[in-house]
Structure 1
Amino acid sequence: MAITARLTNDTHSYGWVMILLHWLMALAIVGLYLLGLYIVDLTYYDPDYQTMPDLHRSIGILVLIALVLRLGWRALDRSPAPLPEHGSLVRLATKAGHAALYLLMLLTLVSGYLISTADGRPIEVFDWFQVPASPLQYDGQEDIAGFVHYWSATTLLALAGLHALAALKHHFIDKDATLKRIIGIRQETP
Structure 2
Amino acid sequence: MQKYSITMRLFHWLTALLVFGLFGVGLWMRSLGYYDPLYQVLPYWHKSVGFLLAGLIVLRLLSRWFSAQPAPLASHKAWEQRLAHLMHWVLYLLLFGLFISGYLVATSDNRPASFFGWFDIPALFTAFENQEDVAGLIHEICAWSLISLVALHALAALKHHWFDRDQTLKRML
TM-score (normalizing by structure 1): 0.88
Residue of structure 2 equivalent to 1:179: 169
CA distance in 1 between counterparts of 2:68 and 2:87 reads: 18
Letter in 2 for 1:69: L
Residue of structure 1 equivalent to 2:25: 35
127-136 vs 65-74, greater mean Cα deviation = 127-136
1:139 has 2:144 as partner: no
Indicate which of 20, 24, 38 corresponds to 2:14: 24
Residue of structure 2 equivalent to 1:54: 44
Structure 1 residue 136 displacement after superposition: 4.2
134-143 vs 13-22, greater mean Cα deviation = 134-143
The 5 Å alignment of 1:88-167 reads: 88-167=78-157
4+ residue runs of structure 1 moved beyond 2 angstroms?
Answer: 134-137
CA distance in 2 between counterparts of 1:94 and 1:178 reads: 11
Letter in 2 for 1:25: T
Contact preservation (8 Å) 2:108, 2:126: no
Residue of structure 1 equivalent to 2:74: 84
CA distance in 1 between counterparts of 2:40 and 2:139 reads: 20
Structure 2: segments with no counterpart, 5+ residues: none
Structure 1 residue 134 displacement after superposition: 2.9
Contact preservation (8 Å) 1:114, 1:134: no
Structure 1: segments with no counterpart, 5+ residues: 2-11, 184-190
CA distance in 1 between counterparts of 2:100 and 2:65 reads: 21
Structure 1 residue 102 displacement after superposition: 0.7
CA distance in 2 between counterparts of 1:163 and 1:137 reads: 33
Contact preservation (8 Å) 2:110, 2:126: no
Query: Would you tell me which structure has more helix in proportion to its own residues?
Result: 2
Structure 1 residue 127 displacement after superposition: 1.2
TM-score (normalizing by structure 2): 0.97
CA distance in 1 between counterparts of 2:118 and 2:155 reads: 37
CA deviation string 1:79-134 (max 9, x = no partner): 11010011111101110111111111111121111100101111111112211113
